[in-house]
């Protein structure tokens, strides 16, 4: 087969097909391969691919032979063992300088391992986060490529061409070496978990405390989407709440079981935060909230034994809705602050040259957490490239300070009425703890020294000390 393709792709599930079509639409010839040949043939002969520069390949060898050197091949396969399996099949067919791109949601530690192994073999490996789901893959995702600068120089122009555009700027930058791309994508997903949970808790308070109808809530979220809360998730929440089930005539959201699934990236984000010692409680609470939601039969049984909350609201509903808006915005800022602090810690730990301000800009389009205030995050890092936490930036500090009264009223009302709001509470506690010059850890240090002689620091002089506590 004559080498004619600009890039190759392995794995023609929906994401792979849509990404291949996106690449072809932008004038790049792409060679495609799928483990099941019939799937590849069906795709190449489909109405969507017909007439486009898509080259179908029956074997992996055909795929490699069809691509111009240095070759670049995107893997769009399930994370984990399938990625290693495809790499093992490709390696004997590739030459020094060729590039393998992992476009799935791989764990960054796996990406670092694969990068070391392939670098030793003279190959480049690019762990690349691709956000936006099927629609993003087809029409313009946010793309977070890791790997060497040399590999990005080859693949970057294609990724920039197919990515989402905001104000004419591509939502794609080189994130950093080895696992940086996948780490940032995973952190994006962790923020997404928190954002979704915060919105869901506000929705729950509207429904269960204020007694608002789905139609009323839809209107509220639509109005919020015209202001500082403008974002993709707020937009689709308004749309969801406005839709009606054709079979029952009920609001669609009322016929959906309150049990949310997850694919693991939120857990990875939380585990990375624990590993790096970065407090990200709102992200972790969002993960735990999904796990709790999965206990549906157990929760139904527990309600019968423990009794359900009987909330009663007696205040001004319109004023409380305004409080909910301010509480949601302040909490979202905390969730983003936690995510960016985590990226900064990983950058320091692994020596990545990730530009946090530019990361915020590529999340403005093509991804799930795209939001109006991402521009403000870029401005925050422009003002202070060494910014430790978004809460310290004047713009975000002012928003949180302005909204904290509403935030406390919302959390207080939820707790008083027995309504669970774990993400809202954790975000507020994070804010209060972060701004506290003295916390409770002095007692914890004393306890650790008491039972384990772990030593402690003193407030009046440097060094580590131990006390024989049992002597009094």
Residues marked active site are found at 185, 192
**Nearest-angstrom CA–CA distance, 443 and 338:** 26
Beta carbons within 8 Å of 374's beta carbon, 6+ residues apart: 360, 361, 363, 364
The answer to whether the beta carbons of residues 26 and 52 sit under 8 Å apart is no
Which residue's entry shows tokens 């391969």?
33
- What does residue 306 show for φ and ψ, rounded to 5 degrees? -90, -20
Helix (H) or strand (E) holding 72: strand 72-75
Asked whether the beta carbons of 43 and 79 are under 8 A apart, the reply is no
Question: Coil, helix or strand for 457?
Answer: strand
3-state secondary structure of 324: helix
Residues 6+ apart with CB under 8 A from 319: none
H or E element, residue 7: strand 7-10
* Distance in angstroms (rounded) separating the CA atoms of residues 117 and 123: 9
Question: DSSP letter string over 114-160?
Answer: HHHHHHHTT-EEEEEEEESHHHHHHH--EEEEBS-HHHHHHHHHHHH
Do residues 148 and 135 lie in contact, with contact meaning Cβ atoms separated by under 8 Å?
Answer: no
Q: What distance in Å separates the CA atoms of residue 67 and residue 29, rounded to the nearest whole number?
A: 9
Q: Which residue has the tokens 């999904």?
A: 290
Distance CA(154)–CA(69), nearest Å, equals 10
Residue 419 class from Cβ within 10 Å (0-12 exposed, 13-18 middle, 19+ buried)? middle
């Amino acid at each position: 087969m004559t080498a004619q393709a600009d890039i190759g792709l392995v794995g023609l599930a929906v994401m792979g097909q849509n990404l291949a079509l996106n690449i072809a639409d932008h004038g790049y010839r792409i060679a495609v391969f799928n483990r099941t040949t019939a799937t590849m043939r069906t795709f190449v002969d489909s109405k969507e691919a017909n007439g486009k520069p898509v080259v179908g390949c029956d074997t992996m060898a055909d795929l490699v032979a069809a691509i111009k050197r240095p070759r670049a091949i995107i893997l769009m396969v399930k994370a984990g063992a399938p990625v290693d399996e495809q790499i093992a099949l490709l390696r004997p067919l590739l030459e020094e300088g060729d590039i393998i791109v992992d476009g799935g949601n791989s764990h960054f530690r796996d990406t670092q391992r694969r990068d070391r192994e392939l670098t030793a073999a003279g190959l480049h490996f690019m762990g690349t986060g691709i956000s936006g789901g099927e629609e993003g893959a087809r029409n313009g995702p946010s793309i977070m490529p890791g790997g060497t600068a040399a590999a990005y120089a080859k693949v970057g122009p294609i990724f920039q061409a197919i990515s989402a555009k905001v104000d004419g700027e591509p939502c794609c930058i080189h994130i950093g070496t080895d696992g940086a791309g996948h780490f940032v994508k995973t952190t994006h997903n962790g923020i997404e978990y928190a954002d979704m949970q915060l919105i869901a808790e506000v929705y729950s308070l509207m429904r269960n405390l204020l007694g608002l109808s789905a139609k009323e809530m839809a209107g509220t979220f639509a109005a919020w989407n015209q202001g500082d809360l403008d974002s993709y998730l707020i937009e689709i929440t308004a749309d969801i709440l406005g839709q009606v089930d054709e079979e029952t005539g009920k609001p669609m959201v009322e016929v959906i079981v309150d049990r949310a699934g997850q694919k693991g990236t939120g857990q990875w984000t939380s585990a990375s935060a624990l590993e790096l010692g970065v407090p990200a409680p709102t992200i972790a609470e969002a993960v735990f909230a999904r796990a709790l939601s999965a206990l549906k039969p157990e929760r139904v049984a527990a309600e019968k034994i423990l009794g359900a909350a009987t909330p009663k609201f007696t205040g001004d509903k319109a004023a409380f809705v305004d409080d909910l808006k301010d509480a949601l915005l302040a909490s979202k800022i905390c969730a983003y602050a936690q995510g960016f602090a985590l990226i900064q810690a990983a950058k320091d730990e692994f020596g990545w040259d990730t530009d946090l301000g530019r990361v915020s800009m590529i999340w403005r389009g093509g991804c799930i957490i795209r939001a109006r205030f991402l521009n403000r995050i870029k401005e925050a890092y422009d003002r202070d490239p060494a910014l430790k936490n978004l809460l310290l930036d004047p713009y975000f500090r002012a928003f949180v300070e302005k909204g904290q009264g509403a935030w406390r009223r919302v959390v207080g009302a939820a707790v008083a009425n027995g309504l669970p709001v774990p993400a809202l509470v954790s975000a507020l506690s994070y804010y209060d703890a972060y701004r506290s010059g003295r916390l409770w850890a002095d007692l914890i240090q004393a306890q650790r020294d008491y039972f384990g002689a772990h030593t402690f620091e003193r407030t009046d002089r440097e060094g580590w000390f131990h006390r024989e506590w049992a002597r009094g």
